């Protein structure tokens, strides 16, 4: 079955942010994800990456742990995402060849609900993780949190508390 023949079942209406430092990998992910019906946004590591993630408003994030010579950049971005109230509930798939780092952080990754796909991977392995992440993204709690965040953004009320990790969802 070719990518074009894959059913567009679970990706429809979902935006995936893919963060990687290799253009060829970003293009590969774009082909695969769009073949599954996802809207795909790609990003390389940048000094203001957390702001870029917020502006993208992704439903799912695929993140590489290792970014070229900046070996800790992917790990640091994952930590920033999990400490940001506006982003903390977004499902994350770590797609990496950094087996040692994944093993060292297995407890944290499991606790945070981060899914892991080790490179090299097959499309079916990635698809399985995407299906699981989509179920998380579609959970009632996640949808309510995401809806509130988008409403605040539209009203221009994105507060510094969202950026600092304070509680979100409490009305003043």
Q: Is 155 exposed, middle or buried (0-12, 13-18, 19+ CB in 10 A)?
A: exposed
2-19 per-position pLDDT tens digit: 555 445 467 888 999 999
Separation of alpha carbons 82 and 36, rounded Å: 26
Which residue carries 């952080």 as its tokens?
A: 105
Which residue carries 């109230």 as its tokens?
A: 85
User: Which domains, ranges and CATH numbers included, belong to the chain?
Assistant: 8-163 (3.40.50.2300)
Specify the higher pLDDT residue, 86 or 158: 86
Does residue 120 have a cis bond before it (omega within 30 degrees)? yes
Phi and psi torsions of 78, nearest 5°: -60, -45
106-165 per-position pLDDT tens digit: 898 999 899 999 999 999 999 999 999 998 888 877 656 656 666 665 676 544 444 444
For residue 18, give the H/E element and its range.
Answer: strand 15-19
pTM exceeds cut of 0.85: no
As a dihedral over the C-alpha atoms of residue 61, residue 29, residue 138, residue 59, rounded to 10 degrees, the angle is 40
């Amino acid at each position: 079955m070719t990518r074009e023949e894959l059913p567009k079942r679970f990706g429809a209406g979902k935006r995936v942010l893919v963060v990687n430092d290799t253009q060829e990998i970003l293009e590969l992910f774009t082909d695969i994800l769009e073949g599954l019906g996802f809207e795909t946004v790609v990003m390389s590591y940048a000094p203001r990456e957390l702001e870029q993630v917020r502006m993208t408003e992704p439903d799912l994030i695929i993140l590489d742990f290792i970014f070229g010579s900046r070996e800790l950049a992917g790990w640091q971005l994952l930590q920033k995402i999990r400490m940001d109230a506006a982003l903390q509930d977004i499902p994350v798939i770590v797609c990496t060849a950094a087996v040692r780092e994944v093993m060292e952080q297995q407890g944290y990754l499991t606790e945070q609900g981060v899914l892991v796909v080790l490179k090299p991977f097959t499309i079916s392995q990635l698809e399985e993780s995407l299906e699981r992440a989509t179920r998380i993204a579609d959970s009632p709690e996640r949808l309510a949190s995401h809806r509130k965040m988008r409403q605040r953004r539209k009203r221009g009320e994105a507060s510094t508390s969202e950026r600092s990790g304070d509680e979100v969802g409490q009305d003043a």
